[in-house]
Amino acid sequence: MTKTIVAPSILSLDYANVSEQLKQLNESKAEWLHFDVMDGHFVPNLTFGPDLLKGFKKCTDMVMDVHIMVEDPVFFTDVFLKAGADILTFHYEACKDEKEVRMICEEIHACHAKAGVSVKPGTPISVLDPLLDVIDVVLIMSVEPGFGGQSFMEDMLEKVRYIKKQIVEQNRSTLIEIDGGINADTAKLAKAAGVDVLVAGSYVFRNDIKAAVESLL
Ligand code: DX5
Ligand code: ZN
């Protein structure tokens, strides 16, 4: 069984208490930090720009897992790679066609970062089958993107099982990440289905950070 990675989403971080929360994150077993970028168009919410990412990079050695929920993935991929993203995940639905998805992944690789592609709940995961050769991380949304604190969509586990099978059959090392509604119970279901990376926002930051991260592993 492969090891699980926990990626706390800073969307739910308490910004009145940033340094204390970052200290706890640094002492926790979380290896990635999930950074949700929203442009107010692709999703009805607005979040962080590249300067915040640069600031976080100075305070932690965690892997910067940047998830861009934006209408213009080409522009923002470049912006967040320059700001220091280690993993850059963009949305399949925001791209013109398969060729553009491939082109963005190649651009990410050229900057020595990992390429992630995300699908919203309504998008069939099979669209990624012919692209697995350029995708390092498949990010399956288990809520509608835009907000933290929503309930886990259990039927998304079928997508996890499907893409896991494709990854094995194609002999790839692509990781499967799931995002939305993860807590200690849903984490168990996700891991059993084949998830490698668990994004968790409200569950981690509404509880004791270190204990919550540990309960997901
Ligand atoms: C939602 C974001 C998630 C969000 C998850 O669009 O992509 O990363 O922070 O939050 P929880 O874990 O609270 O569902
Ligand atoms: Zn996210």
* 39 assigned binding-site residue: no
Which ligand ends up closest to the CA of 89? 2
Which ligand ends up closest to the CA of 201? 1
Quickly tell me which residue has 């990626």 as its tokens. Answer: 7
CATH code (residue 211): 3.20.20.70
Give the integer Cα–Cα distance in Å for 35 and 8. 9
Residues designated as active site: 36, 179
- CA angle at residue 152 from 182 to 215, to 5 degrees? 20
Q: Which tokens go with 16?
A: 């009145």
* Total number of domains in the chain: 1
So what's the pLDDT on residue 168?
Answer: 97
Ligand 1 closest atom vs CA 181: 14
In this prediction, residues 78-89 reach a mean pLDDT of 98
pLDDT tens digits along 7-52: 999 999 999 999 999 999 999 999 999 999 999 999 999 999 999 9
Give the integer Cα–Cα distance in Å for 190 and 40. 29
Give the integer Cα–Cα distance in Å for 70 and 60. 25
Instruction: Give first-to-last CA distance, the chain, whole Å.
Output: 12
Ligand 1: residue of 6, 10, 12, 38 to mutate (most ligand atoms within 8 A of CB) is 12
Which residues constitute the domain of residue 191? 5-216
The neighbourhood of ligand 2, an ion, using CB within 5 A, equals: 36, 67, 179
pLDDT tens digits along 96-152: 999 999 999 999 999 999 999 999 999 999 999 999 999 999 999 999 999 999 999
Question: Which one, of 187, 190, 189, 186, lies nearest residue 176 by Cα?
Answer: 190
Give the integer Cα–Cα distance in Å for 1 and 13. 31
pTM comes to: 0.97
Interface predicted TM-score (ipTM): 0.98
